Structure 1
Amino acid sequence: MATTAPYGSWASPIKAQTLTQGTVRLSEPAIDGDDIYWLESRPSEKGRSVLVRLNAQGLRQDVTPHPHSVRTRANEYGGGSYCVQDGVVYCVLDSDQRIYRLIGKELTAISPEGDYRYADLTLDSERQRLICVREGHTDSGTEEKAEIVAIALDSSGETRVLASGADFYSNPRLSPDGTQFCYLCWNHPNMPWDSTECHLAEVSEDGALKNVRMIAGGEDESVFQPQWAPDGELYFVSDRNNWWNLYRWTGEDAETLCHLDAEFATPQWVFGMSTYDFLGPNTVLCTYTQEGYWLLARLDLTHGSLTRIETGMTDISSVRCGGGKGLFLGANAQHNTCLWAFRPEGTEALVPLARSASTDPDHHYLSNPEPMTFETADGEEAHGFYYPPHNPDFVAPESERPPLLVMCHGGPTGATQTALNLKIQFWTSRGFAVLDVNYRGSTGYGRRYRERLKGNWGVTDVIDVSSGAEALAQQGLADPERCAIRGSSAGGYTVLAALTFRDTFQAGASLYGIGDLEALARDTHKFESRYLDTLVGPYPAQQAVYQERSPIRHIEQLQCPVIFLQGEEDKIVPPNQAEAMVKALTDKGIANALVLFPEEGHGFRQGPNIERALEAELYFYGQVFGFTPADNIEPVPIAHLKEIH
């Protein structure tokens, strides 16, 4: 029989440790002949990123010798940190950001010494060189310089610049016969989901590029993942018709392969992203998203027909193919992320190769996401997923409604997913209702929906998270007096803005979030240094707007408790943002807490810190909303706590 207990106080088998113990983050799968590779970021090893290989006999082994970590910090977010061919690995090591050749356990530096970062590696075997994006940090006081370079694989390490002049580059790719070359580039103030240019060039006999021309992209068009087919034709994804769809370059124009009101791409926050690849000369394996769900499909290039593949997954990414088989990362609401092999001709089409967690949680304790579209206060629509509180061991008193936790995804150009999210299940299994919002500006709903946040950050997203919470309260699914909001990075800004400029929420948690838009415009890294030009307006020309939308400037309007969770080494949103907000709240006498994490940057990678952050947030809500968590949690110092009740 279920025990009656207040919402928030339920004991749950989904602990903070469930998120870190026996878990890894899987990324960057690759195929090399019969061998399969991927990266594992391991919280148990302080976030060390290890390259793993699975051979044809099923033998799995770590490729990266201890204690090295494979990770590039190009654009700060990294990605595209290795490539492999014929068993030889070329990878970027986190310790010095140089490229190394890895054979067996022997590492040999390929790139020369210098303050550079490398990403998006691709091998030019015929010319015995490695082509990649290089980010130069060599000129103090000036913006980092991005280029596409070729690095000789002999002992000379001779480096040759192939493309320069743009602010950013990605996706340098060589045609199968080595005679053509493509890449993406873009310039401030655009982000890659705003406007990119796809360039095509010929490769001369001496390895230089010639006859370079733009074939797609430009103003108001985002091109994603240009890639060569086995027959030498060039494919890419473009949103020129509102939706990110697949195209093929004919030599004179781009033709649509399959028009669908769906997105075959996702925001290019990191290098090396892949939503499609070639299963064979006439077949593409691809993933696309509709209404918040990701699907897997085969595209017949001969007939232009798209056939959905039933996988049971609702979150799919990192599609790679080779040797007639495909790889992808996939998860759903009940199961953690796995690396899957897709063998179209085999009796078992889908085979799990690696798991992000040793076990899945007991499904009896999982809350299933329910898609939700709601009217916003300004008369439009926004989307999200509602998770009701759920724990078979407990029921709440009949008259009580659950506290609500509204979640704001990062970016803000991003999207929430329906894959198993243990952070969400941590809350629902303790008696919280959760609303995970895809506010206007999120991806997955077309370019026009994505652009609703242009010039409106801190306005439209705030309206949407508040409207979603109010809709649930009106339906009796949440207690309007116990609504909290949480978010990290850009989501942390939405949290602070919602708490400051609206009165829907009674508490909030900002994880490495932004309180001062002016400080962010001045202090953040190159990749996002002009991001706010489109989200808010050009700075300093629009300084008044920045001040108007910065919570730190309107602290007199913020009347409820906030907890701040912050990495001390964060270069994207520096700690001074959280510290300034804490000082202002403390001076005003409003309850607040600050938990700083040494050796953490933008996002927490170390197991103990991930656990502490989650438990600290639960403790904080317990103090604010007047319930006692069942968990044994180290108390968090809360300034002005006595003034809450």
Structure 2
Amino acid sequence: MRVLDYGSWPSPVGAALAAAHDGRPDHVGFVGDEVWWTEPRPTEGGRRTLVRRHADGTEESALPAPWDVRSRVIEYGGLPWTGTVVDGRPLLVFANFADQRLYRWEPGAEPVPLTPVSAVGGGLRWAEPAIHPERGEVWCVLEEFTGEGPADLRRVPAAVPLDGSAADDRHAVRELTDDRRRFVTAPRLSPDGSRAAWIAWDHPLMPWDGTDLLVADVLADGTLAPPRTVAGGPEESVPQAEWAPDGSLLYASDRTGWWNLYRDGTPLCPREEEFAGPLWKLGQNWFTPLDSGLVAVVHGNGAATLGILDPATGEVVDAAGPWTEFAATLAAHGDRVVSVAAGPRSGWETVELDVRTGRARVIGAAHRDAVDPAHYPRPVARTFTGPDGRDIHAHVHPPHHPEYRGPDGQLPPYVVWVHGGPTSRVPLVLDLEIAYFTSRGIGVAEVNYGGSTGHGRAYRNRLRGQWGVVDVEDCAAVALALADEGTADRDRLAVRGGSAGGWTSAASLTTTDVYACGTILYPVLDLAGWNDGETHDFESRYLESLVGPIAEVPERYAERSPAAHADRVTAPFLLLQGLDDVICPPTQCERFLAGIDGTRVPHAYLTFEGEGHGFRRAETIVRALEAELSLYAQVFGLNPPDVPTLGLSG
């Protein structure tokens, strides 16, 4: 082992390599016997393509550029495609990102539009399509803008004709219900076609706070009768419901404080663990019923694994394999179950489980080591103690290189990574962006602070009214604990995060002296502005639970906003922003920077045209990673080779 200062180790994990492996497969589904899914293409403008796995096991990117299979419903999108077999040939319907139209597509032909373009506001958008050939329709969610403002819209379950008659005629789209509910998921038809089930909620609730599970009879003319509520409420979150082959209704509910599974109201496997998660994207699914009566489930306390639940006994048998995390996407066909999984030593892959044999195998997007895996991080899941003795879950990725170590007596710098959401969770999987830093001698600590999912409702409710407090305290507690135990250098701690994680990073720099610098990506920075029409409709009332109703606690909005206290920042920082971001728009960053003006705090502000909320293009990811490393190099006194110098003003 050669000795070299931490942060200065040469590494084969370059920014371009990390960017090329950004993102993961998603939205798995069966088209007949074939498995299809969506997959990112960072080097093709960040688009997502449809990948087809043929019967012989070969894969192909089925849709060429510029087709981009992605929905913008609620801005975070959702399930963007569906498929079936008609007359022995695949028939697919997908949402195209550029125009948000639904298209009908048969491989070998050009996609044909099924829905029109609207010039009003954000137009017409669609998610969670399901083909019903017997009805000649695609049932889905319709999001329709009625004006130019982000909240000028309506959402309804809708039926789109498969024959293309609605391609130029909005009135040919059949609305299945009225639009009295602000948010809806797509209706699921019962096996006999007599009933439909869907989920709805209204402002100011978020879907992890409270939703209603609705069931309605399907009338002879194809419309839905007035629905009845069968589960849910303002303090009960039902994020998914599915019909079992026998006509019973399966759903997930957190009425006990944990998202558990129920069949017609009866618990199937009552445990203090999660069988579902936060519904950030329409069409996420954590369970799917099998023809045999068994149920495939993604479940766990923290880490989420794939298992098969026997409703008769309540027993769950987990799939064996190297994967420690499964994503909220499942599909079943006969005894085959497909999902997306990853582990600390492998990236996200498409995985198939044979329920009869219990054998699980990779069938698509197979992980291939882009570099010698000896350069991968070696993370450890840990639980730290925070204020008031509360638990804080985190993943610690120490600096690691097969050929280098730091000098005796020198402690490494560490960066605290703050996930977005904030109602979300970071999984413990291989991430080459983390390896980009750890392989150079910079440690990373990912914190699932109070408010994160995966540990029950009480854990995520810690953030109610406390955003900007509990998240900041928990991240600081982990950083300081690493320093106190001699793992990290107390004088070389940084914080970084995007979206809600950008908020926590900025709030940490304005309210604590824990960090020597920070990286802030597409953040929330001004609560009052974000609450007053500066964000999209889905999260426009989110602050009522995270902070409190502004009419009741207006002082909190000013007290906690980094933009209102930018003059308190003394640590250097890097601010990264997509110019097409409608969730956290650039105006938030501009307001924050105006408060920095005159303070002489070293900082840099990089903006990216064509990028929205979260970076998708390879060139953007490369620039962002190299700028972040350069910030740490300048602040921590590091000497990483071959990294462009970031110009800091101030």
TM range (shorter): over 0.9
Q: What amino acid is the match of 1:545?
A: R
Distance of 2:213 and 2:648 partners within structure 1: 52
Match of 1:159 in 2: 173
Alpha-carbon distance in 2 for matches of 1:368, 1:361: 15
> Quick check: 1:189–1:533 contact (8 Å CA) kept in 2?
yes
Q: Could you say which residue in structure 2 is the equivalent of 1:286?
A: 297
State the distance in 2 between where 1:281 and 1:183 align. Answer: 24
Cα distance in 2 for residues equivalent to 1:189 and 1:305 = 37
2:400 and 2:522 mapped to 1: Cα distance? Answer: 29
Change (3 A) 1:422 1:65: closer
Q: What amino acid is the match of 2:275?
A: F
1:224 aligns with 2:239: yes
Give the AA of the match of 1:127: R
Counterparts of 2:502 and 2:297, CA distance in 1: 32
- Tell me the equivalent position of 1:415: 425
Map 1:26-45 → 2, pairs under 5 A: 26-45=25-44
Would you say 1:103 and 2:102 are equivalent positions?
Answer: no
In 2, distance between residues paired with 1:535 and 1:596?
Answer: 28
Structure 1 residue matching 2:626: 3-state secondary structure: helix
State TM-score, norm by structure 1: 0.95
SS at match of 2:176: strand
Separation in 1, partners of 2:443, 2:523:
23
Q: Distance in 1 between matches of 2:76 and 2:298?
A: 23
Deviation, 1:584, is 2.4
Report whether the alignment pairs 1:532 with 2:543: yes
After TM superposition, give the deviation of residue 70 of structure 1 in Å.
1.2
1:85 counterpart letter in structure 2: T
The 1:24–1:378 alpha-carbon spacing in structure 2 relative to 1, beyond 3 Å, is closer
Indicate whether 1:74 and 2:73 are aligned: yes
Q: State the identity %.
A: 38
Q: Deviations over 1:440-489 (max 9, x none)?
A: 00001100111110000000111100011111111000111111000000
User: Per-residue CA shift, 1:391-414, capped at 9, x if unaligned?
Assistant: 121111111111111010000000
User: How far does residue 516 in structure 1 lie from its aligned partner after superposition?
Assistant: 1.2
Distance 1:527 1:612, change over 3 A: same
Residues 356, 187 of structure 1: CA spacing in aligned structure 2 closer, same or farther, 3 A cutoff?
farther
For 2:619, the aligned partner's letter is: P
Decide which of 331, 338, 344 is 1:320's aligned counterpart.
Answer: 331
Matches within 5 A, 1:272-351: 272-290=283-301, 292-317=302-327, 318-346=329-357, 349-351=359-361
User: Any idea what SS the aligned residue of 2:387 has?
Assistant: coil
1:315 deviation in Å?
1.0
Contact kept in structure 2, 1:442 and 1:449, CA below 8 Å: yes
1:261-282 C-alpha deviation (Å, 9 max, x unpaired)? 1111121111111111123332
Instruction: Write the distance in 2 (CA, Å) between the matches of 1:286 and 1:151.
Output: 31
Determine whether 1:120 maps to 2:128. yes
* Whole-Å separation in 2 of the counterparts to 1:67 and 1:374: 46
Q: Which runs of 5+ in 2 are unaligned?
A: 167-171
Equivalence for 1:371 = 381
Aligned partner of 1:487 in structure 2 is 497
**Alignment coverage as a number of residue pairs:** 632
1:137 aligns with 2:151: no
Instruction: Answer whether contact 2:242 2:289 (CA < 8 A) is retained.
Output: no
Matches of 1:550 and 1:22 in 2, distance apart? 34
Aligned partners of 1:155, 1:245: CA distance in 2, in Å?
Answer: 41
Distance (whole Å) between structure 2 residues aligned to residue 394 and residue 222 of structure 1 = 49
TM superposition shift of 1:541: 4.3
Structure 1 position 289, deviation (Å):
2.1
Indicate the SS of the match to 2:598.
Answer: helix
Shift of 1:23: 6.1
Q: Which residue of 2 aligns with 1:643?
A: none
Structure-1 separation of matches of 2:643 and 2:219: 64
Contact 1:120 1:172 in 2 (8 A): no
Give the CA RMSD over aligned residues.
1.5
Residue 528 of structure 1 aligns to a residue whose secondary structure is coil
* Paired residues of 2:21 and 2:432 also in contact (CA < 8 A): no
The answer (yes or no) to whether the contact 2:125–2:142 under 8 Å persists in 1 is yes
Please say if residues 23 and 356 of structure 1, whose CA atoms lie closer than 8 Å, have aligned partners that are also in contact. Answer: no
Partner of 1:562: 573
SS at 1:339 equivalent: strand
Of stretches 446-455 and 385-394 in structure 1, the one that deviates more from structure 2 is: 385-394
Query: Of residues 443, 458, 465 in structure 2, which corresponds to 1:455?
Result: 465
For residues 379 and 97 of structure 2, the distance between their equivalents in structure 1, rounded to whole angstroms, comes to 37
Amino acid at match of 2:126: Y
Alignment of 1:386-405 (within 5 A): 386-405=396-415
Matched-pair contact (CA < 8 Å) for 2:146–2:152:
no
- Go from structure 1 to structure 2 and tell me whether the alpha carbon gap of 1:623 and 1:23 turns closer, same or farther (over 3 Å shift): closer
1:428 Cα deviation after fit: 1.2
- State how far apart, in whole Å, the 1-side matches of 2:128 and 2:80 are: 6
Indicate the SS of the match to 1:293: coil
| Gapped regions of structure 1 (runs ≥ 5) | 641-645
For residues 81 and 438 of structure 1, what CA distance do their matches in structure 2 show?
Answer: 29
Matched position secondary structure for 1:106: coil
Contact 2:79 2:281 in 1 (8 A): yes
2 CA distance for matches of 1:392 and 1:351? 29
Amino acid in the other structure paired with 2:173: T
CA-CA distance at 1:379 after TM superposition: 3.3
